[in-house]
Amino acid sequence: MATLRDYRVHRRAIARSRLVIWTVILLAFGWATWGTGFGVLTFVQGIGGSFAFIATDLLPPRLEAAPQFIDDAIDTLLMSYVGMVMSVVLSLPLGVLGARNTTVHRLLSYASKGTVSFIRAAPDLIFAIFLVALFGIGPLAGTVAMGISGIGILGKTYADGIEAIDMQQVEGIRAAGGTWFQVLGQGVWPQFKPTFITWSLYRLDLNIREAAVLGLVGAGGLGYALITEIRTFQYRTATTVILMIFVMILLVEFVTGILRRRVL
């Protein structure tokens, strides 16, 4: 039976462990701060310079230039949509085979999760660089890059979502002699559907954001237009492009929110 002395010894041990953990965290933070050259004074000065740059160079935006980027905005939307569909189509079988409770073999689960992890480890920009070299500058490279990079996120999300379902319904169908496809359709899909729809639509939102970054390497869309304006020091026109990207994200988020409420 534990005594008061044992309780105090246990509490002191916990206190020492917490002290060690917080010491390591603070030392790591100090090392990272020193290594990055971060400082409060430098940070404050940088913020002041940023406000000056925004007030004198970025504002006001050249809104009259917006019509010339309509085609780029449409390209961005189409790229994001096709990339999302590509990610969903390729991620769904990887998620089903990767989940421990729906895979046909444990080795296949490891292979599926390994493939998804490998794709997730590579930044989107890396895919875009190779694809621009392969397909040339334009929307095609950006579309395929977003489609491939999306597998890393959706494949893991789908597998985790399937593994989190209630297995009683699945086991009931299996006990009744249901085939693997019947188990997926009647036992897994009804429970997995909310996760599938939510994350698939969220990927469309992410693709529009990523399109701006992929423009750095010539992957088309508003991202490429934004980088072109910045490189030519047309900052007020670049602000217009940024506002267009912001409006597109808001509209897509509004539409996907309605779709989620209607479908779920």
Q: Domain residue spans in the chain?
A: 4-58, 68-263
pLDDT value of residue 46:
66
For range 138-142, the mean pLDDT: 81
Looking at residue 58, the DSSP 8-state letter turns out to be: I
pTM of the model: 0.73
Angle between helices 124-135 and 189-214 in degrees, nearest 10 = 70
What is the rounded distance in angstroms from the CA atom of residue 36 to the CA atom of residue 221? 33
Q: How far apart are CA 174 and CA 221, in angstroms?
A: 48
What confidence tier does 49 reach under pLDDT thresholds 50, 70, 90?
A: low
Contacts of 110 (CB under 8 A, 6+ apart): none
> Tokens 């895919």 correspond to what residue?
127
* pLDDT tens-digit map of 92-103: 998 888 888 888
- Length of the chain, in residues: 264
pLDDT digits (tens, 9 = 90+) for 167-220: 777 778 777 777 778 778 787 888 888 888 888 888 888 888 887 777 777 777
Fold of 68-263: MetI-like fold (1.10.3720)
State what percent of residues in the chain have pLDDT above 90.
5
